[in-house]
Structure 1
Amino acid sequence: MEGVLINEVEQEKNLDLTLLANFVHQVVNPLNGVAGTLDNLAEGTVEGEERRLQRLNAARAQLEQCITLIRNLAFLAQGRGGVADDDRRKIVLPQVIIESAMIFQEDGKTKKIEINLLDRSTQNTITGHPELIRQVLMNIFDNFIKYGKIGHPVEVDQRIQKSSGMALIEIKGISAHPIDQEDLGKIGTLGFRGKNAKKVVASGSGLGMYICKKIIEEQGGSLHMEVGVQGKVLFVIKLPLQS
């Protein structure tokens, strides 16, 4: 029995070290990119106002990715990433979706992957934690930009489901490498990365989807993922109108 407990402790320690190493790698890479962009701008090697603006927007997107990663780690360490239980406000779904998608606009352009909200006019609202909902959307959009098939858009739909009285956010796109059915049930497990993800990006934190699922479930909702033929991927987020 003692040997089993020691083995479990060692496994947890190894998982913690792997997560930390992957986390550091994911944060350092975009920060190096930002530093390189600032050097180029300071030295005047980027010519033309349009190109300078593109570089600045790309650097901002890289910083936002770092912020998301740090929030993921903070959420894991603190339970809610510093968001108070009673800090609930009205969330306008189209607004929070658009704000989250804009962060990946520049990265999306380079891969010809647009994030399109199908219904921008219907102002469906819920009550919850805007920062946490934004964090979930950013994690999912980040996955689509990283692992999505070049030239194929990501489509987002939002509505209130009459049968359940829940708010629905559906996000669908196409993965560059189809997700293995064996991996599907493990996605959302702490530290797990699917085979398709490893083909595109060798290392990752394995935190994103775990935290997405945890955030949504803690607000009384659900998150599940479906995969179809030719790399089709669908995320379905259900949230109560008041959490």
Structure 2
Amino acid sequence: MTDKTSEPTNLDLTLLANFVHQVVNPLNGVAGTLDNLADNIIEGEDRRLQRLNAARAQLEQCITLVRNLAFLAQGSGGVADHRRKIVLPQVIIESAMFFQEDGKSKEIEINLLDRVTQNTIKGHPELIRQVLMNIFDNFIKYGKRSLPVEVNQRIQRSTGMALIEITGHSAYPVDQEDLQQIGTLGFRGKNAKKLVASGSGLGMYICRKIIGDAGGSLHIEAGAQGKVLFLIKLPTGD
């Protein structure tokens, strides 16, 4: 007798199909770059370096996707149990570095406004980095060309919570009706579908879960001319 609870749902199959599509595409791009390099098709040291950097960015995209799937399957992505000190400017800069090449191609820079103030929290650096990478990835994929993504970090005096504010612009304005559903497993907004036909719908769900499990919150606002704000609140752990 078949246990129906073990049968895959339509959502499971859709997530799997989108996940495979998103991983295979950049891997094909990397394979093509390596073939061209091996066959000396790409001429000039600058062009070869540019293609290598682009291939590395594609691999990082795959790594992010696999981490998202691992988090969904294991509940934690396999990180260590003990919490450590996280220096906010450092983890923000590390997360942004993964998108330098993709950002250059779209003229989208990720700028940390305050690199000097060394605010810290206690937690899992791997998970906080995963949250930031998922959000930055969304801005690079769906952001408006030539407009920067600005990040600020501070400690809120009234609550003692650490705040990370990420502001950018979407190429298509975010539908106000979609705001309440962003972060639901498998959900993708109308603006996202206009730019990229397929997607896993995992990234923002995992962001909300990681932040919620850490005792924090994720607030998203959409304004005029495609402006989007992600506001992350996290306890410092002091």
Scaled by the length of structure 1, the TM-score of the pair is 0.94
Q: Which residue of 2 aligns with 1:75?
A: 71
Note the C-alpha offset of 1:49: 1.5
Deviation at 1:85, TM superposition (A): 2.7
C-alpha separation in 1, matches of 2:103 and 2:9: 36
Residue by residue, what CA displacement relative to the aligned partner does 1:25-50 show, whole Å, maximum 9, x if unpaired? 00000001111111111111112212
2:41 aligned partner, one-letter code: T
The correspondence for 2:220, drawn from 225, 230, 236, is: 225
Correspondent of 2:58 among 46, 59, 62: 62
In structure 2, distance between residues paired with 1:122 and 1:53? 34
Counterparts of 1:51 and 1:116, CA distance in 2:
26
Q: Does 1:152 align with 2:147?
A: yes
Q: 2:31 aligns with which of 10, 35, 42?
A: 35
Identify which of 182, 186, 190 aligns with 1:191: 186
**Structure 1 position 132 matched with structure 2 position 113:** no
Instruction: Provide the C-alpha distance between the structure 1 equivalents of 2:213 and 2:45, rounded to a whole number of angstroms.
Output: 45
Pairwise CA RMSD:
1.4
Aligned match of 1:171: 166
Q: Provide the C-alpha distance between the structure 1 equivalents of 2:200 and 2:62, rounded to a whole number of angstroms.
A: 12
1:26 aligns with 2:22: yes
Q: Which residue of 2 aligns with 1:3?
A: none
Q: Distance in 1 between matches of 2:6 and 2:147?
A: 43
Q: Structure 1 residue 182 and structure 2 residue 177: aligned?
A: yes
Give identity over the alignment, percent: 82
Q: Verify: 1:214 aligned to 2:214, yes or no.
A: no
Secondary structure of 1:223's counterpart equals: strand
* Residue 202 of structure 1: aligned partner: 197
User: Where in structure 1 do 4 or more consecutive aligned residues deviate above 3 Å?
Assistant: none
Gaps of 5+ in 2: none
> 5+ unaligned residues in a row in structure 1: which ranges?
1-5
- The TM-score, its normalising length taken from structure 2, stands at 0.96
Letter in 1 for 2:209: K
Q: Is 2:77 the partner of 1:50? A: no
Match of 1:96 among 91, 98, 117: 91
Provide Cα deviations, 1:138-172, integer angstroms capped at 9, x if missing partner. 00000000000011100000111111101110000
**Please, which of 110, 113, 120 is the counterpart of residue 115 of structure 2?**
120
Q: Secondary structure at the match of 1:193?
A: coil
